[in-house]
Amino acid sequence: MSERILLVDDEPFILSGYKRGLGKEYNLDTATSGADALEMFSQIGEDDAPYAVVISDMRMPHMDGVELLNRLAQSHPETIRMMLTGNSDQQTAMDAVNQGRVFKFLTKPCSATDLKIAIEEALEQYREERQKETASQHDAIAVEHLSARLSHQSRHDILTGLANRLAFNRRLTSALETARNENRKHTFCFLDIDHFHRINDACGYTAGDELLRQLGGLLSHHRRSGDITARLGSDQFGLILGDCPLEDGQKIIQKLHDEMKQHAFRWEDVSYELSVSIGLIQIDSESESNAALFSAAETACNVAKDNGRNRIHVGSAQDATLTHRLNEIQWINRINRALTENRFRLYYQTIEPLNPMEPEGDHYEVLIRMVGDDEQIIAPGEFLPAAENYHLSPQIDRWVIRNTIGWLSDRPDQLETLSLCSINLSGLSIGDEEMLGFIQQTLAESNVPPSKICFEVTETAAIAHLDAAIFFMQQLKAIGIRFSLDDFGTGLSSFAYLRTLPVDFLKIDGMFVKQIDRNIIDWTMVKSINDMGQIMGKQTIAEFVENADIYTQLQEIGANYAQGFLISRPRPLFEKDTILVEQEN
């Protein structure tokens, strides 16, 4: 009898009859007019049970049942509304039902038995809606909590608690802008632990993680207010000393380095000296870009290593940028020649379901390699950064799309066994209307169903061109193409943007996956990303699956697919013809 029910009728004897017949089974209140009913609703306090059901006579003076229930539909939409009506009023009552204002109408005279049946149906409807509402609230709270946690994790290194490379890069952008616009000077410090791999090899990864935490603590302790300290890579750290010219920065970092030299790392009763090489550069009005500053600072650090390690070297951003630019120009010439002479090759890597409910067709990612002058295969990491910086990546994307779709179109047997083929798109291709038309035309002129193609876009590229990316995806999804968000989890606010991006798959970044078999923090991160993806209706693909323990952990977490060296190494695409023939034989 917890749910409250309100009966409204201008004839008291009818109300008293229902009260006698149903009052012992239900928590019944009565009102003799629409105004009285509205007043009773308005007096419900925060601690009072709400009215689950209201049943009103249709014909009443001053305010009839239609007006009453219309007003309650606005003020208390959760209450289930029913109407008592005579035969002559049935059309009006039916109209109210059809318009969604009334759950059900009952014809007078209505017996207590018939009214009880109607009340039970209304209460069942009320309980179902409350259960759905509660479940929705729980899901919303879960999403909010995970979003908040992952938003923090997206800006911080999980192991050390310092800022991560993405947050550091944003601060570097801000420092560069103030240097250019306000002629302010800052110091960029790049640190690298010397021979860090020896700690991992001698003591294990747990010891290595502890050393990183201790160094992170030292850096955090000595950080000035307003400065930023970040973990940039596995054993690399960075500091930006704001409004600190290089000469002053050298003094600050020298004191920090002296304390590092005094720090002894102890593990299982063995003491190890901490050796750190440091590169320093100045951020000023002459600095060109974040990439140039990173290159200069890292180059300065490498010079410190070359000079004997465990020391500080002051570098020049301009010199490092010039060297980097000359190297990239050489790559640009080689990329243009590879496009002209068709010196690129397609490779593939299998993507395997972790918990298949039924057999699936071939699912793989298409990769690209370059053939060098000596006929050696060149990995994409060598030439793609230069292609991005010099706006050649869309041309490479077109080559990959044209040749992949052409290869599939010419091989009906391969196409028949194919479930999904993933093709990478660079950030410069996202939102490019010419690229959009090229993809649509290439598919239209082929035998390849769009539903068998999936484009992979990095999270960073999608967020950088958010509106264009959404439009680009929507246009291609309209013809059946699917999308995968690559390197997911490394972005600034991953899940805040995920709600707006119409992607089908999340590829969990390999930096989180590759140590989940031995690092509970990475395991938790992967599980959180997978749980959030599942809540949002996305399938998850884990990269860098390199051993059976990682594979088993991903199965337990509930990820959908795995990709990595355990499943298959990248192989030339033409080898699939041989594999298919062998399978048929």
Class of domain 4-134: alpha beta
Q: Does residue 243 come out as left (phi exceeding 0), alpha (psi in the -120 to 50 range) or beta?
A: left
Contact 448, 407 (CB under 8 A): no
Dig out the tokens for 536 from the structure. Answer: 């949002």
- pLDDT confidence of residue 585: 46
Relative to beta strand 186-193, strand 236-241 is antiparallel
Longest dimension (CA), the chain: 103
Q: Does residue 174 come out as left (phi exceeding 0), alpha (psi in the -120 to 50 range) or beta?
A: alpha
Q: Which residues of 460-498 are buried (b: 16+ CB within 10 A; e: fewer)?
A: ebbbebeeebbebbeebbeeebbbbbbbbbbbbebbebb
CATH of domain 336-584: 3.20.20.450
- pLDDT confidence of residue 162: 93
**Distance between CA atoms of 460 and 488, rounded to whole angstroms?**
9
Is cis: bond before 109, omega within 30 of 0?
Answer: yes
Ranges of CATH 3.30.70.270 domains, the chain: 165-315
> pLDDT tens digits, the chain, 585 residues: what are they?
578 999 999 988 888 888 888 888 888 999 999 999 999 999 988 888 899 999 998 888 889 888 888 889 889 999 999 988 875 556 665 666 555 478 888 888 888 888 888 888 988 888 888 888 888 777 777 777 777 677 667 788 888 989 999 899 999 999 999 999 999 999 999 999 998 888 888 888 888 899 999 999 999 888 888 899 999 988 999 999 999 999 999 999 999 999 999 988 888 888 888 899 999 999 999 888 998 898 888 888 888 887 889 999 988 655 565 466 557 778 888 999 999 999 999 999 999 999 887 778 999 999 999 998 888 899 998 899 889 888 899 999 999 999 999 999 999 999 999 999 999 999 889 877 899 999 999 999 999 999 999 999 987 888 878 888 899 999 999 999 999 998 776 654 556 677 788 999 999 988 889 889 998 988 998 998 899 889 888 999 999 999 999 999 999 999 999 999 999 999 999 998 876 555 554
- pLDDT confidence of residue 561: 96
Q: Which residues of 503-527 are buried (b: 16+ CB within 10 A; e: fewer)?
A: bbbbbbbbbbbbbbbebeebbbbbb
User: Starting at the edge strand that comes first in sequence, how are the strands of the sheet with 312-314 ordered?
Assistant: 228-231, 236-241, 186-193, 276-283, 312-314
Q: Phi and psi at residue 143, in whole multiples of 5°?
A: -65, -45
pTM of the model: 0.53
Ranges of CATH 3.40.50.2300 domains, the chain: 4-134
**Distance between CA atoms of 537 and 531, rounded to whole angstroms?**
10
Does the domain formed by 165-315 have CATH 3.60.150.10?
Answer: no
HEC states along 50-77? CEEEEEEECCCCCCCHHHHHHHHHHHCC
